[in-house]
Structure 1
C-alpha cells in the first residue's frame, strides 16, 4: 500500500492500552461478576481509563514499550483487595493483563496498520473468491491514515470513531485513501470491538468500488447501494469470512478479541445503527432502503433451488460483481430502488424471473437492465 500515517505516540499509548486490556477485561467479566467480584473488575477498568486519560491529556515522555510494561503494575497497585480469596480470584485477570501488555511492548509493527492491512487483504480475497480479481496496482495505491480528535465524534454510529474513504486519481491510476479518526479519551469497548467490521465496510464497500480505472465517482453518504446494499454484503462477510488471524491466541490482534463473539456482537450493533432513523436528515432512509433490498434479496436466494444451499455466497458474488462493475453510482442506486420496490410485501414474480435468469446465464448487465426495465405489479 502507499504512504500511511498512524497515531502520535501519546495517543498510541492510550489506544493500545485500552484496546488490548478491554479484550482481557471482556474475557473475564462474566466469570468475575458471577463470583461476586464485579466491583474489582470495575476498579481495574477505572484504573485503565484514568492512566490512559493522563497519557492523552499530559503527553508524558517515555516510549510505548515502557508505558505498557509499567501499566500492569500501576493497575495492580490501585486495587485494594479485602482478603486472599478476592486476590486469588482476580489473579488470572491481572496476570493476563500483565502478559498482554508485556508482549505488546515488544511488538515492532503498528497494531492499527496491521489491522488495516489484514482487512484489506481479506477484502481482496473476498472479491477474488467470487470471481473478481483485484489488480495488484489498485491495492498498492490504497493508503490509510489514523488521526485523533478531542471532541466527541459526531456520527450516526454509536462509536467514537469515524472511517471515510476518498476515491482519488493518481497519474498511475485510481487510488483510495481511508481516513480513520478516533476520540481516544472516549474510546470504549464497542468502538474497539467493532473496528474489524468498520474497516471491512470501508474496504469491501468503498476502497474496491469499481470500475478500477481513473474517474471513479465518490458515492454520497446516503447512497442506497454503497452504504446500504453493500454494507449488508460487508456485514455478511464479517460474519462468515475465514479470517486467517482468528487462529492467533496471543491477544495482540485488534481484529480478534479474546472472546470471539465480542466482535460479532459489536458489529451487529453498529451495522443496525447505520440504517436506523436519526435526527441528522433523511440519508438514513436511503441507507435503510438499500439494506432492506439486500436483505430481501438474500431471503429470496434462500428460497430458490439454485442458491438455497448458500444464499449468502450467491448474494456476495452478485454484490462484489455489481460494486466492481462499470455501472455508474446512479445506475446501482436505481437498481437497488427497483429491487426494494419489487420486494415490498410479496416478492414480484418479474424480479424472481430476472434473478433466476441471471443465475442461469451469469449475465450481470442483462440482470441490471432487466430489473431497471421491469414492470412491477405493485406500480
Structure 2
C-alpha cells in the first residue's frame, strides 16, 4: 500500500535515532521512488554511515517546490513509553510511535504523493529532500544544500514539514551552542591564593552570560512575532572539580543562544570572549601562566523569517488554507535553505507538544489533512 498511514508504519519501524545510521530508511525510500521511475541522489557523511536523499519529479529546467524533512529522531532512552516506540500503533484516532509527529508523519505524506505526482502533467518540479542529523544541530542538510547550490535552477520554495498542526509558520529563532573550558591551577584548598579556581572563574563567566541575556530583553531588540519576543541565553551543563579540599584546575560548561533572526548569536559569544580576555585572564595568569579559557562551537543554525507579504507566504496560504501566519519556538533547517537562496516556510502535521516525548503521536485527522495539503501543492505545480 502507498497510503500515508502504511508508509508511516514503515518509516517508524526504522530506528533512526541520531546516534544510529539512517541508511536502511534511505535505501527503502530510494527503492520506493525507483519503483515509480524516480531516481534519487544521496550525499553521505564522511564515514558513509548516514545520507541525505534528494529526488526530483518533473521538469528540472524550471524552479519548483522542495518538500523537505529530516529522517532522524530523538532517543527514547529513559522515557516511560506505554507502547512500542518503533512500531506504529493506533488508538482513539492517534498514531503512536517515535517520530510520528517529528517528523516522519510529514515524510509519509510526501511519499504517498509520489504515485500521483509521477502521473501528473507537472509544469514545475517537485523536489523531495530527506536529511540526517537535524536533531543534533542541522548537520546533514548542509551537504545536501551544497549539492543543490551547484544546480543551474534553484527551487522557488521549500516547505519544511515540521509539526505545526498544519498552521502556516514563517519563522523561528536561530541557535548557537558553545562549550567553554576553563583551565586554572590546582593546589591544596588550605592555600587557595596559590591556585586558580576554575569553577569560580567559570561562575563569573556564567554570571556575565546572565548580564548579557538581560541586555537582550531591551525593548528595541524585541520582536513580538516570537515567543518569548527576545533572544535568550542559558547555561545547561557544568562540570568541574574533584574534591572539596582541592582547588579545581578544570571546569567546563555548555551554553546556548536562541537568537531572533535579526541577531547574529556570534555577537554574544564575542562579548563573552572579550570579557574573558580582558577581565578574567590577566588575574588568572598572574597566578599561573598556564591558565586559559577556550570556547568551542558545538552546533549552530540560523534563524528564519519569511515576510508575510512575500510570494512564499502567499503560496503557503494557498496550500494550507490560512493566512494566520505565526512562528515557532523550536529550530528547523529552514534558515539554512533560506541562506542558500531558497525561500522557505514551515508547515506540517502534528504538534511539537507531542514531539520528543514518550508515546509520541500524530492524529489520523492531521495525517489526512496533510495529504490534502500536499494534493494542493501538486495542483499548484501543474498550473502554468
Tell me, yes or no, whether TM beats 0.5: no
Normalising to structure 1: TM-score of the pair?
0.22
Normalising to structure 2: TM-score of the pair?
0.21
Higher helix proportion, which one?
1
Higher strand proportion, which one?
2
